[in-house]
Amino acid sequence: MKPNTKAAIEYFLSKDLNRIFYLNLDLLTVVLDLNQLIKNIKKDDLHGPTKQDNFMEDMIICTAMETEFLKYVGTKYYYQVTSEAVKKNGLALRYVSSELKGYREIVLEAVVKNRSALKYASSRLQNDPGFILQVVPEKFAYS
């Protein structure tokens, strides 16, 4: 895990430790010492998110701070955060799940923002002439 990713996760959780339930706990426990984060609160307080704060906006901010943050977003919010993240930084596609790297909409949003993101798309999309014609400017398509 990159240091900036850890900082982004800490920032996200600093607003409300219950936000941990918006993230991928299985993956986080491998790379972070969650015990240290949780030590300061009572176990009874960890009952999951009770209200929707501006966590989605903060997830997108954290992804903008460090695109690797996207790897740690929980499944329930993954598609929405991914879509917003690649609109802001096409190269965030690098950290998108293999499944979403094959979604036309997600990859198109990323490539529109940054043409270099195409290298992170699934091989199926990279080899799809119809898709390539969608993302390559017309002046280059017929060269």
28, pLDDT greater than 90: no
CA distance linking residue 143 with residue 139, whole number of Å: 7
Which tens digits make up the pLDDT trace of 45-78?
444 554 556 888 888 888 888 888 988 998 889 9
Per-domain residue ranges of the chain: 3-141
- Does the predicted model carry a pTM greater than 0.85? no
Alpha-carbon dihedral 111, 112, 115, 120, rounded to 10 degrees: -10
Phi, psi of 48 (to 5 degrees): 95, 165
| Helices first, then strands: H and E counts in the chain | 9, 0
Task: Give SS3 for 97.
Answer: coil
Which of 7-21, 33-47, 99-113 is predicted least confidently? 33-47
